[in-house]
Amino acid sequence: DAKTTQPNSMESNEEEPVHLPCNHSTISGTDYIHWYRQLPSQGPEYVIHGLTSNVNNRMASLAIAEDRKSSTLILHRATLRDAAVYYCILKYTGNQFYFGTGTSLTVIP
């Protein structure tokens, strides 16, 4: 049901950029792409979302492919506090989020 595919895990060195990929080849024209992250023992936290254009906020950037079948979450400078599971989610019309298994990001000091 999640309709997104992400690598199970990734590693990054501290203070370096991180690119977290997500494939959503069956995306429809009205599906928003959302990213959340979940730190250990906490609830998911909203990171960013977009529809067609690239998006930036204080936490991250979201690069969306022209055909919208993939996207990349960019953390510009990874810190130890960014170690978490990152979920790429398609938001369907209505109030339904389906979380996949996400990418577990390890940040190496």
Residues that bind another protein (CB under 8 A): 32, 34, 36, 41-46, 49, 85, 87, 91, 94-102
Task: Tell me how far, at minimum, the Cβ of 102 lies from another protein, in Å.
Answer: 7
Q: Of 7 and 100, which CB lies nearer to another protein in the complex structure?
A: 100
Instruction: Match 């990349």 to its residue by tokens.
Output: 72
Task: Tell me how far, at minimum, the Cβ of 66 lies from another protein, in Å.
Answer: 22
Residue 37 · residue 85 · CB < 8 Å: yes
Q: How far is CA 74 from CA 12, 13, 18, 35, in A?
A: 12, 14, 6, 11
Task: List phi, psi (to 5°) of 81.
Answer: -75, -10
Task: Tell me how far, at minimum, the Cβ of 34 lies from another protein, in Å.
Answer: 7
Q: Of 18 and 84, which CB lies nearer to another protein in the complex structure?
A: 84
Q: Of 79 and 101, which CB lies nearer to another protein in the complex structure?
A: 101
Residue 26 CB coordination number (10 Å): 10
DSSP symbol at 8: S
Task: Tell me how far, at minimum, the Cβ of 64 lies from another protein, in Å.
Answer: 16
